[in-house]
Structure 1
Amino acid sequence: MCPHDPSCPSAEAKDREAARTVAAHPEQGWSLLCNGVVLFEDTGELLPNGVVIAPHRPTDLASSAA
């Protein structure tokens, strides 16, 4: 349960990356968010339920639209 006020978005929410960082390890390329999401520096994510979200950079969207 998130102790922040207002509460951080849940791991299932579309804006889950907006949750606060509770542990940062930039030397290893990842951070743990308040909602249990592990956020990687390449924009990939690991959700608490084990689901992997592939990296999703804005440049990926631009190249697929061409």
Structure 2
Amino acid sequence: MCQHQPQCPPADAPDHEAAFLVAFHPEQGWGLLCNGVVIFDDTGELMPDGRSIPAHHDPYGQAA
């Protein structure tokens, strides 16, 4: 359970990526959010219930 104030959004909330980062392993390309979501440096996610969310790259993020 989140001890932050205000509390982090739950994993099923639309803004779940706003949760605090509690573990970060950039050498392995992932981090763990307070709500149990694992985020990957390619923008993919692994939800606490085991569902995977594919990478969602911003098509306008970088110009070629």
TM-score > 0.5 by shorter chain: yes
For 2:35, the equivalent position in structure 1 comes to 35
Structure 1 unmatched runs, 5+: none
Deviations 1:10-45 (A, max 9, x none): 000011111000000000000000000000000000
Matched, 1:14 2:25: no
Runs of 4+ in 1 over 4 A off after TM superposition: none
| TM-score in terms of structure 1 length | 0.88
Residue 25 of structure 1 aligns with which residue?
25
Aligned length: 60
Q: Note the aligned Cα RMSD (angstroms).
A: 0.8
Higher helix share: 1
- Any idea what SS the aligned residue of 1:10 has? coil
Deviation at 1:57, TM superposition (A): 1.2
Could you tell me which runs of 5 or more consecutive residues in structure 2 were left unpaired when the two chains were aligned: none
* Aligned-residue offset at 1:7: 0.3
